[in-house]
Amino acid sequence: MLQSEYDKLIQLIKDKLLSDIAIETSKIKEAAEKKTEEIQSLSVEQQTNKTIELLEKRLEFFENVGIPDDPEILFSKAKILREKNMHKEAILLLEKLVDKVPLHKEAYWYLGFEYSELKDNDNAIKNYKKQLEINPTDSSAYNNIALKYKAKDNLLDALESLNKAIENSNKKELYYTNRIDILKKLNSFDRAIEDYISLLGINPDKADYYNELIKLLRHENRINDTTNFFDKAINHFKENEPELSNSFNFSKATFLGEIGKEQSAIEILQVLIDSNYKIERCYIRIADLKNKIGKTEEAISILSNGISNNPLSSELYVYKAYIESGISEDDSKSTIDIGGKSINTETYYFISGRFFYKRDKFTLAKHSYKGALKLIEAKLQNEKIEEGDLMNYYETTIILQKSLTVFNEQYRKLIVSEKYLIILMVLDIINRLNTNFNDAEREKAITEIKSLNIEAKDKDLLNWNFDDISGFIEKTKGGDLAFFTNKLIKYIERKINLDEL
């Protein structure tokens, strides 16, 4: 009698443990299925180390009372080991489990999963296939086999597996997106288009599906279909997500302008202006289209209207000056200056200077930087001088190729903070290289930059926009100097490593 009650108690404890483990690991498979690439570095988010340790201790109880090889205990412990990233150990337990229960309904799936974690694609495929022998409709196994074939660059087999995954679960968005990825790699764009249309049937609220479908339709030059799906997206989101609907309408206008339907595009953009959607961008796009079809005066007038509605818009002044430059650079300079007086910050002139350098309008770029320098020089007459203003002065003086005597004699000594001393060194190096760039100077620059030990600095320390100086170098010197300057700045901005310089 006592033994019977003991057995019942053990079973109750075991059932509770298995239930808890099942709850804690219930999302492993679901999360794995949601990964579009290799199944790796996956963990169940709601689990904590403390929870895992507690479950492990409870598992040890069953090992101590003499049932360590119970199949359910083996399976649960394997899942716990997986959560501790002990994949090889988990595989050993799962292998023991399938020896005991060859037709276990999930063990081979988990074996495939564990081998995936170890980048062992062949064994992952082998075990997923065994899972399919037990459960021929396991769409997740088909999907994961496809991912392994993709990793082996065996795209046709990957495609076949995804076809079967979809056959067995045709409502799984993931399987369609994975198949689309394979179809694109196989240049089977028509089939990829069909899959996106199927996806919209499953989930018509996902804007990305419309965007990717439209991108493919444009790639295939299916103009009518492109317009049709723009309209479907616009209408679908109009009531509940008007901003998204307007975004698709704006993209449609851009598309129409590109295919020679400028007037239709302009009409859409005017509607968007009336809806207060990206007003500045719409004015600029209309002006661009007017200018494209030879109606430059109308384009300028459109931008003037935009400025009247928003007299503090840097974009509108700059773009108006750009359109005017096709007729008269003097008019462009006048517009730049009017914007400068209204906005009255050097930032406006920097935006203008960068814009015109990118478009090879060097005279207007220099005019813009002269406007910036004038405002900065006025700031430097204040009793308290900001280091940021000093650096703007230095950078602008380099861009305008003016004498640096005043900066070197009066202002350089005022740069004392670590942030601006680093920026000062970078500008010094770029200025020196602009005068004399060769292999020796390049190596000297790398040595100096290395001494800054940028990797050890706080990432937020160097918050500086180097686009002005890099744009100047790109357009005036170009070539190897521009290439090296760009990499040097990327290193300072922590976008590349030192060995990539």
Domain boundaries, the chain: 17-135
Percent of the chain topping pLDDT 90: 74
The pLDDT value recorded for residue 29 is 53
pLDDT in tens, 65-89: 344 567 777 787 777 777 778 888 8
Q: What whole-number distance in Å separates Cα of residue 15 and Cα of residue 7?
A: 12
Q: Across residues 220-229, what is the average pLDDT?
A: 97
Mean pLDDT in residue range 415-440: 94
Measure the CA–CA gap between 434 and 302, rounded to whole angstroms. Answer: 41
Cβ-defined contacts of 460-466 (< 8 Å, 24+): 461/418, 461/419, 461/422, 462/419, 462/422, 462/423, 462/492, 462/493, 463/419, 464/391, 464/419, 464/423, 465/350, 466/426, 466/492, 466/493
Under DSSP, the state recorded for 407 is I
Q: Whole-prediction pTM value?
A: 0.77
Cα–Cα nearest to 252, from 271, 268, 236: 268
Spatial contact of 112 and 124, defined as CB atoms under 8 Å apart:
yes
Options 3.20.10.10, 1.10.540.10, 1.25.40.10, 1.10.287.610; CATH of 17-135 = 1.25.40.10
Judge whether residue 49 has pLDDT over 60: no
Residue 206 in tokens: 């996902």
Q: Give me the half-sphere count of Cα atoms (radius 13 Å) on the Cβ side of residue 86.
A: 12
Q: How confident is the model at residue 19 (pLDDT cuts 50, 70, 90)?
A: low
Residue-level pLDDT at 119: 93
The first and second tokens of residue 186, run together, are 């196989």
pLDDT, tens only, 111-147:
999 999 999 999 999 999 999 999 999 999 999 999 9
